Amino acid sequence: MGGRRARRRASPPRHAGTPELERVPHLAAVLAGDADGTGDPRLAAELTALTGLAPDAGGVPLRVCPVPTTGVVEALVVLADPRLPDHGDLAAAEEDLLGAYVARAGTALAAAALHEEQAHLGAVLQESLAAPRLPETPGVLWGAAYRPARETLRVGGDFYEVVGGAGRSAFLLGDVCGKGIEAAVLSGRVRQSWHALRLLEDRPGRLLPLLNTALLDAVATRDEDPRFATMVLGDAHPAANGTVTLRLASGGHPPPLVLRAGGEVEAVPVAGMLVGGIRDARFGEAEVTLAPGDTCLLYSDGVVEARGSGDFFGEERLAATLPRCAGAPPAVLCEHLEQVVVGWLDGHDHDDVALLAIQAPPLPSRPARSEA
């Protein structure tokens, strides 16, 4: 129970009562270093109440020994032993043993506190990099899925962003080279740069070279090794007739797939060089019109490179999986694909997986139904 109590201290009190320390002023004084406490009967009474260890009839066989720590944890060891004569005087050997025990306990507690701080750091980073909420936009439906590689710190190098706007909505999906915390930090840089630059330049074919330059400049000012990213970015523009026009630009990324309402799958022929590699990089551009019920899928290479017991998942299987989702909402398409890919992995480790689907809403008169 000790662990549980200590853990509770960090979280708000539940079955609410007065804070524990207020009820034990003498113990609080020892913890704060304001008193020694050894042999103090008032402290002994508090400790007796706290620990349930009854003092023997003759006196106060309790000894309190503060645990030296780095200051992050406050702790003390309470000894209660009816055999102790003279109010807790210990033989020299026992005194040594207690000293060694207390020192080690202090180290362990300090390490645990440090770990907690690091976990908190990771959590803050993770929250800042977490997959964003998708906007509600008139005339365009969005769906996404994000599954970071199997690490305890659930941050990764894949990313997507969507910002709804009046008339046009901007989106981005990409993948930075590398793994773990370095990749996560770079993906944060790409996303922030995109958020700022798209306010100044909304044409995807112009925006991507600007992003390329921004990433190269950031690397140049820091003596960092160059790091590359691949991405597709663009915007979606719904028209009054129910269609959605997409403008796309791509650098080094797998081509987006279009799933027509009737189930046909087309790859959008758009390619380009890696982003953040060289200054004069050339990027591809394309324009796609989605009719009602058509969906455009952007995905990271973690999808096609997912490898289970045998083969890679691959573009062909991806294209073969899509038709059964024809007409389904984009969120369902992404969720279904994620499940198929995870099933394919069969418990094996994988790279980050990111999916973003953009759909022109199906016409209400013909509700979307899919047949096996």
- Name the site residues for another protein (rule: CB under 8 A): 1, 3-4, 7-8, 10-11, 14-16, 116, 119-120, 123, 150, 152, 154, 308-310, 324-325, 328-329, 331-332, 335-336, 339, 342-343, 346-347, 367-372
| Nearest distance in Å: CB 295, another protein | 13
Which residue's CB is nearer to another protein, number 223 or number 371?
A: 371
Which residue's CB is nearer to another protein, number 206 or number 317?
A: 317
DSSP letter, residue 147: E
Which residue's CB is nearer to another protein, number 3 or number 85?
A: 3
| Nearest distance in Å: CB 265, another protein | 15
Q: For residue 313, what are the CA distances in angstroms to 26, 175, 303, 318?
A: 65, 18, 7, 7
| Nearest distance in Å: CB 223, another protein | 34
| Nearest distance in Å: CB 193, another protein | 29
Return d(Cα 337, Cα 267) in angstroms, integer.
Answer: 17
Which residue's CB is nearer to another protein, number 174 or number 293?
A: 293
In order, the DSSP letters of 158-227 are EEEEEE--SS-EEEEEEEESS-HHHHHHHHHHHHHHHHHHHHH---HHHHHHHHHHHHHHHHHTTTPPP-
CB 46 within 8 A of CB 67: no
**In what helix (H) or strand (E) does residue 285 lie, and over which residues does it extend?**
strand 284-290
| Nearest distance in Å: CB 144, another protein | 13
Beta partners for 231? 174, 251
Which residue's CB is nearer to another protein, number 148 or number 252?
A: 148
CB 341 within 8 A of CB 353: yes
| Nearest distance in Å: CB 302, another protein | 16
Q: How many CB atoms are located within 10 Å of the residue 134 CB?
A: 18
Cα of 43 vs its chain's centroid, Å: 45
Which residue's CB is nearer to another protein, number 58 or number 364?
A: 364
